[in-house]
Amino acid sequence: MYFKMFKAQGLAHLSYMLGNQGSAIIVDPKRDIEEYLEAAQAEGLKIEYILETHRQEDFIMGSAGLQAITGAKIVGGSHEIFNHCDLNLKEKQTLEVGNFTFKVFDTPGHTPESVCYALYLQDKEQCWGVFTGDALFIGDTGRTDLIDPDKTKENAFLLYDSINKKLKPLGEQTLLFPAHGSGSVCGGALASYDRSTLGFELGYNPVFTMSRDEFARHKLHERIPKPPYFELMEEINLNGGKAISGAPSNIEVLSPEMLKEKTKSNGVIIDTRLPEAFASGHIEGSYSVWLEGLAVFGGWILEEDTYVYLVMERESDLEKSFEFLSRLGVGKIKGFLAGGFEAWRDKGLPIEASGYIPVSKLKDGWDDCLIYDVREINEYEDEGHIPGSRHCYVGHLEDCIDEANIPHDQKIVVTCTVGHRGGLGTSIFLRKGYKNVHNLAGGMKAWNQLNLKTEGAQ
């Protein structure tokens, strides 16, 4: 038996390859499929089946691209969303691959079509592991508000029943293989590790430790932001996703003069350096999105056809930037600045800067500053916030600014947990014409390290 987990950085997406008697099965593949092809070749396996647990919302699926190259059959449940599949399995139907037996369980709640695949080896009576998609995570479950926020509670009941009535009976020995890990926007408080069993989850996972009503209240309280690109993913993934077009090697290398000319009337500049570097100097109008942050926040600030120009710490970061945005299906990278920001600076071209204020200065009462906390609402309320600060999640900040009618000479401090989202928030204020904007160095982590007063913490 061959088994390997693949983790997509940034998205925290988990996919799997299993090998048995020369055949390989891929579960919930990502769009960039080279790793699967390389692993299969190295192990002498032929990829014959692609198992989908549900239509993914946060990335473009790799099923269609993988099938086009390997000829593998796509397997899904019986819901109409799986109409693109070659094999549609109903509740408790099985798929035999060598001495593997996959049994399907309908597990609605996160999404209506969600299914889980219980895997049995030679012992057909004892489950070895279960591929749970976004129904059951390690430490939590999938969010239940995606399809309709007004049905969050109703879907929470469905998910609770799905897991307790169908997955729990598989036995405490059953290994758990979800489609996402910690950091995913598809769930709440996922554990920071990627290995668990059903037996271990029984002791602390809310879906097992709470009553049905308590669990529904728990899901109502989550209120996880839904990125706008999710709707695009849902549309594309109705057909199993689509293959990646283009390559990093085809992206144009731009001199400072060329970048200035190309961005006069079209496209956006994304600066992937750390917030500290961005604050000290950057190209006017650029977004500050640290490199790993592209994997999520690219989907908040970009649309499918937005032209993107990159300013990077290292030119070697281009491949990762391309990978992150390709998975989201947003933004078309048209070029990057050769030599990075230093090349722009050395040409004497216009530079904009923003503030980077330490907690030690803010705590003493900075005159007339307006503090914006751009974390998620649960972080703001449950983990505590600076007294008097306003809240707006960074993904919604552009709309919040438009509605707030803040004077453009207002002194503004943006904070998050440590400063990354604060950097993005700062750049959004700057793009709106605010010049006296400062990112709080270290964010709430630094604030709490000094045991300073907060409001709202439970």
Q: How confident is the model at residue 187 (pLDDT cuts 50, 70, 90)?
A: confident
Q: How many helices (H) and strands (E) does the chain have?
A: 17, 21
Give the end of a domain, one of 346, 369, 394: 346
In a domain, 457, yes or no: no
Domain total for the chain? 3
Of 209, 239, 269, the one marking the end of a domain is 239
425: CATH: 3.40.250.10
pLDDT tens-place string over residues 59-85: 999 999 999 999 999 999 999 999 999
- CB neighbours (10 Å) of residue 418? 15
315 with 387, same domain?
no
134 shares its domain with 33: yes
Domain of 277? Answer: 248-346
Instruction: Compute the distance between CA of residue 293 and CA of residue 303 in angstroms, rounded to an integer.
Output: 16
Q: Are residues 216 and 67 in the same domain?
A: yes
Per-residue model confidence as pLDDT tens digits over 396-415: 999 999 999 999 999 999 99
Q: Is 330 exposed, middle or buried (0-12, 13-18, 19+ CB in 10 A)?
A: buried
Q: Is the dihedral of CA 44, 49, 52, 57 positive or negative?
A: positive
Quick one: pLDDT band at residue 457, thresholds 50, 70, 90? Answer: confident
122 pLDDT tier (thresholds 50, 70, 90): confident
Q: Are residues 222 and 84 in the same domain?
A: yes
Q: What percent of the chain has pLDDT over 90?
A: 92
267-313, pLDDT tens digit by residue?
999 999 999 999 999 999 999 999 999 999 999 999 999 999 999 99
Q: Phi and psi dihedrals of 252, rounded to 5?
A: -70, 140
Q: How far apart are CA 209 and CA 133, in angstroms?
A: 21
Instruction: Let me know if 363 is exposed, middle or buried by CB neighbors in 10 A (0-12, 13-18, 19+).
Output: middle
Residue 278 φ then ψ, to 5° = -60, -45
Global confidence as pTM? 0.92
- For residue 90, the 8-state DSSP code is P
Nearest CA among 405, 404, 424 for reference residue 414: 424
| End position of a domain, from candidates 346, 365, 393 | 346
Whether residues 125 and 180 fall in one domain: yes
Q: Are residues 11 and 78 in the same domain?
A: yes
Cα distance between residue 283 and residue 231, in whole Å = 31
- Do 273 and 135 lie in one domain? The reply is no
